[in-house]
Structure 1
Amino acid sequence: MEILLWLVPPAVVTVVAMAWVSWLGREGRGEVDREVAVRRMGAAIERGDRPAYAARPHQPDRSTGVAVRPSRRAS
């Protein structure tokens, strides 16, 4: 049991750091005004067009690293 005591300080520091970061992250999530949110949603609905993007070109299956010989037909 005594050998595990060296884990206590890093665990305490980790928990304190997690609590501190989570508390700081709360400030960045402000409420958006309802009127602003409705205006943004209305503008997005009115646009209606889909974002322009190019289709990905077809890529062959990646090799798994296993060599497979073609099967031979019996004649």
Structure 2
Amino acid sequence: MEILWWLAPPVVVTVVAMAWVSWLGRVGRGEVDRNVAVERMARALRKDHPGQRAPGPATTRPRDRSTGIAVRPSRNRDDAGDVRRSA
């Protein structure tokens, strides 16, 4: 049991820190004004976001979804001479 006494100071510090943080957070941010929050959300939704731009000439074809696995094209060719990929 004596070997566990070295744990006492960190446990006491942790408990005191948890009590201090919970005491500081008890007041919180107060009541949120719903009208202001709705206006801020509407402004954010109206804003143009980079992922929603109209596709340009370089982005006409959608990119293949990356699975994180590299797959090499097979050496199989169909009748038209095109390379077929088997994955």
- Alignment: residue pair count: 66
Question: TM-score, normalising length from structure 1?
Answer: 0.51
Q: Which residue is equivalent to 1:31?
A: 31
Query: What are the residue-to-residue correspondences of 1:64-75 with 2, within 5 Å?
Result: 70=72
Distance 1:10 1:73, change over 3 A: same
Deviation sequence 1:22-66 (CA, Å, 0-9, x none): 21122342123xxx42x336646876x5331011886984867xx
Consecutive aligned runs of 4 or more in structure 1 exceeding 3 Å deviation: 41-47, 56-64, 68-74
Name the structure, 1 or 2, with higher relative contact order (CA <8 Å, separation 6+): 2
**Alpha-carbon offset, residue 70 of structure 1:** 4.4
Q: Which residue is equivalent to 2:49?
A: 53
Identity percentage of aligned residues? 47
Distance 1:41 1:2, change over 3 A: closer
Q: How large is the Cα RMSD of the aligned pairs? A: 4.1
Question: TM-score, normalising length from structure 2?
Answer: 0.46
**Gapped runs of 5+ residues in structure 2?**
53-58, 77-87
Q: Distance in 1 between matches of 2:42 and 2:30?
A: 26
**Alpha-carbon offset, residue 72 of structure 1:** 6.3
Secondary structure of the residue aligned to 1:26 is: coil
**Gapped runs of 5+ residues in structure 1?**
none
Q: Which residue is equivalent to 2:2?
A: 2
